[in-house]
């Protein structure tokens, strides 16, 4: 059994990634924070494809939560390890920096950046022991270009991009690749407050992307077709200048 953990797999891009990796033959561990119903729906969709899945609740921003849930999984699945990790869970809390509350700053950093750190640090040990692993971090155009109104989110995603490049070099010898995928505007719950038509002028492809257009790139990076790519950031943004 090849196991893949998708954080934030209950909805949006994470759900699409869960389905793409299921088609590639992985058993999917679908992490979610609070939306158990949608996590169960992702599990059902994975099973319809003919693969297997389980749901796993934890808050990526909580070290104790991350470590205790993953420790419990290890105990229940002796001899197995999670060889593919997709750090996808993320939130945004936009606002101009001059008005930004401490909470909006730290919530976004804790989820998008510390979530990557806690989950990756725990799982990479087994990848190193097994001398194989795949880590894909879902970052953002915002972390490459910087978007006004998103200093917290841009800072968190840019930090994950830096970590991707550094970690890729640390573990390359162990046949572990670490890459990032940077979506532009993708139609999910996260962007439901944005009017697609308002962005047509700036997106060369004149539309928002679909979650599947991101998940197929993640699937490629996890697959055996991407054995010599590490520390890389691939944009999926319909041609937006980055
Ligand atoms: P979404 O539809 O809002 O879904 C967010 C997912 O993350 C949900 O599964 C949610 O779980 C989970 N999550 C949030 N906080 C969590 C936490 N503390 N612990 C565990 N899970 C948590 O978002 P999306 O658009 O699919 O975004 C997925 C990733 O892509 C994010 O990292 C986001 O920053 C990035 N991204 C999105 C866009 C875009 O345009 N949509 C663009 C660039 C980058 P629950 O269901 O339990 O709440």
> How is the chain split into domains, by residue range?
3-236
Ramachandran bin of 63, using left for φ above 0, alpha for ψ from -120 to 50, beta for the remaining angles: alpha
Question: Best of 37, 70, 86, 89 to mutate for ligand 1, by most ligand atoms within 8 A of CB?
Answer: 89
The reported pLDDT for the residue numbered 165 is: 98
pLDDT in tens, 196-215: 999 988 999 999 999 999 99
Quick: pLDDT tens for 158-194: 999 999 999 999 999 999 999 999 999 999 999 999 9
Q: Which fold has domain 3-236?
A: Rossmann fold (3.40.50)
Residues with CB under 6 A from ligand 1: 7-8, 10-14, 31-35, 38, 59-61, 88-91, 111, 138, 140, 183, 185-186, 188-191
Of 242, 92, 235, the C-alpha closest to 153 is 92
The dihedral over CA atoms of 169, 132, 212, 155, expressed in degrees to the nearest 10, equals -30
- Say what the pLDDT of residue 200 is: 86
The low-confidence residues of the chain, meaning pLDDT below 70, are: none
Q: Strand, helix or coil at 141?
A: helix
- pLDDT of 1 reads 85
| 82-87 and 53-57 beta bridge pairing | unpaired
Task: Please give the number of the atom of ligand 1 that sits closest to the Cα of 61.
Answer: 18
The model's pTM is: 0.98
């Amino acid at each position: 059994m090849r196991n893949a953990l998708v954080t934030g797999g209950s909805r949006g891009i994470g759900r699409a990634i869960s389905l793409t990796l299921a088609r590639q033959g992985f058993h999917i561990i679908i992490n979610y924070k609070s939306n158990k119903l949608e996590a169960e729906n992702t599990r059902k969709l994975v099973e319809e494809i003919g693969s297997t899945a389980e749901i796993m609740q934890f808050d990526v921003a909580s070290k104790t939560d991350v470590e205790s849930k993953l420790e419990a999984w290890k105990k229940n699945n002796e001899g197995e390890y999670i060889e593919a990790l997709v750090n996808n869970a993320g939130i945004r809390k936009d606002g101009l920096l001059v008005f930004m509350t401490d909470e909006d700053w730290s919530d976004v950093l804790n989820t998008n950046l510390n979530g990557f750190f806690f989950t990756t640090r725990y799982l990479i040990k087994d990848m190193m022991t097994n001398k194989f692993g795949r880590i894909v971090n879902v970052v953002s155009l915002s972390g490459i270009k910087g978007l006004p109104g998103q200093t917290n989110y841009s800072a968190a995603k840019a930090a994950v991009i830096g970590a991707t490049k550094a970690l890729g070099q640390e573990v390359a010898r162990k046949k572990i690749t670490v890459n990032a995928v940077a979506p532009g505007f993708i139609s999910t719950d996260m962007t439901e407050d944005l009017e697609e038509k308002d962005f047509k002028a700036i997106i060369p492809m004149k539309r928002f992307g679909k979650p599947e257009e991101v998940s197929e790139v993640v699937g490629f990076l996890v697959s055996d077709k991407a054995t010599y790519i590490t520390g890389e950031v691939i944009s999926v943004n319909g041609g937006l200048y980055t």
